[in-house]
Amino acid sequence: MSRAWAASVLAMLLAGCQPPPEATPLRRPATVADLAARLPAEAAGFQRGATTPLPRGEDGREIGYRTPGRIAAGATVQLYRLPGVVLPEGLSSPDAADAFNDLLQDAMRPAPQRRLREEARFTLPAEGPALLRCAETAGSYGRERVQGLLCAGSLGGGLLRLRVTMPRQEPLPADSRAFATGILAALRTP
């Protein structure tokens, strides 16, 4: 066996071990803390408030938002991961569907001072692949007429749940769809 032949066989074997030039290394999904840090101080007139631990999932976080003024709208953004699972982005996983259904059932469950009904469903973002399934709600808390928005989906390997509630009046204190769109855009920006 000649040295030239052995060298060419060795070169071919080593070349076969190299990844193709177009292959990109796999990125680890962002942590819940990383995602929470991406949330803006202000989104569609809502100002960020406190971040609290969420007992749901791994390292869950709940971030509060509200609009300024006497008649305010309130919102919560929940970020969490299911133990040992990295979810695909969007609405395709059963876990994303369960997160939305649980959020909706919790909101619709009658309580002594709360009556809500679902008015419409849609997905966000309006352009491109759907990442959040949303439902607009209306009803009352005691004597106060209210409206709201509930959204859930999979993002960054975990789950995002978003809830907005505000008095039902003209003019509205805030735009709940713009808030949800702003939160989604912030979370998708690395």
State yes or no: pLDDT of 22 exceeds 80: no
CA distance 37 to 34: 5
Report whether pLDDT(83) > 50.
Answer: yes
Residue 81 predicted with pLDDT over 90: yes
Alpha carbons 182 and 46: distance in angstroms, whole number: 10
Confidence of residue 14 (pLDDT cuts 50, 70, 90): very low
Region 53-79 average pLDDT: 91
What are the pLDDT digits (tens) for 161-176? 999 999 998 888 899 9
- Please, what are the domains in the chain? 29-188 (3.40.1000)
* 27 vs 175, higher pLDDT: 175
Amino acid making up residue 24: T
Q: What is the pLDDT of residue 2?
A: 52
Closest CA to 51 of 38, 36, 67, 40: 36
Q: pLDDT value at position 3?
A: 54
Contact predicate 66/46, CB 8 Å: yes
pLDDT for residue 57: 72
Task: Assign 23 a pLDDT band (cuts: 50, 70, 90).
Answer: very low
- Give the model's confidence band at 70: pLDDT under 50 very low, under 70 low, under 90 confident, else very high: confident
